Each structure stands twice: as C-alpha cells, then as structure tokens.
Amino acid sequence: MLEEQGQGLVTGTIKKLLKFLGSNIWRGVVSVDSQAYSKAAQKRQETGKKSVQELVRKGRDLKLSEVIEDKKQFTDFCKNCQKEGLAFAVKPEKDGGYRLLYQSKDAVLVEQTYKKTISKEYKQPKIDLVELLKRNTKLMDKVNTQEQNKQREDRTR
C-alpha cells in the first residue's frame, strides 16, 4: 500500500513538473499512457467467450471441439479455456451436449485443456447395495402401514 502511494506521489510530481515547464513532452506522456491502456483493453477483449459472429469476423479458420455431455465438465472446460486466454464460442447441440468453436491456431491449447478437464474425475456418490435395500424396505414398510391404516379406517366406518 505504501509502495503504491509512493509511486503515485512520484508520478504526480513528475507530471506537475513537466506541466510547469510547459514542454510538449507532457502531451507525449499522456498519449503513450492512453495508448498502452487501450492496447491492454483490446487484448482483454480478444479472449474469453464470444459470439459465433465475432469469431467468424476475427478469423476464418474455425474448428469445433468434441461434444461434451456433462454440464459440469463443460463449464470447467470453458473456465480453463478462459484462463489460457483463448477466444471461443459455445455451440449447443440438439441432443443436449455442447461444443466449443475456436480458431484452428489454438487447437493444441484447446486439446490440452480438454484432456485436463476430461481426465478430472468427478466424484459421484457410491451406492452401497445393502444401504439401498434397507431404504427400500423402510419405504415398503411405510407404504404397507399406510395401506393397513386405510383398511382399518374403512372397516370402522
């Protein structure tokens, strides 16, 4: 925090000094700062999730990834692609899966992130057969007792 304040103080005094001297260097410093900022902003806008039209405008070599059925795997795949700095678009399939549309120059990176994502094991609860049978018998007992109670009520009426 102190370093940031110190840097701000130094840059502020340099700018004031240049303004005081009235040199044209001040104008050049401001334009260089704004150019650097705009380049960084453009770079940020080039990566991440885009529409299909934006990708087509950006480049003509486009590829489709393999179909990913699992929603969790697909969201992880998209996050990993954003971390890698790739520009991509999402294309939903008719059968419920998703595909990623990306530029062919990024094919190696996309394949690597795809392999990382798919190799991750998503924990699914293990089904214990004995426990499943116990639950089933408890449910059946409940149903049986409810039926017996109904029959008793019908007899009393």
Express each pLDDT in 85-139 by its tens digit: 888 888 888 888 888 888 888 888 888 888 888 777 666 667 778 888 888 898 8
pTM of the predicted protein model:
0.48
**Chain segment 50-66, per-residue pLDDT in tens:** 777 787 777 768 888 88
Largest alpha-carbon pair distance within the chain? 107
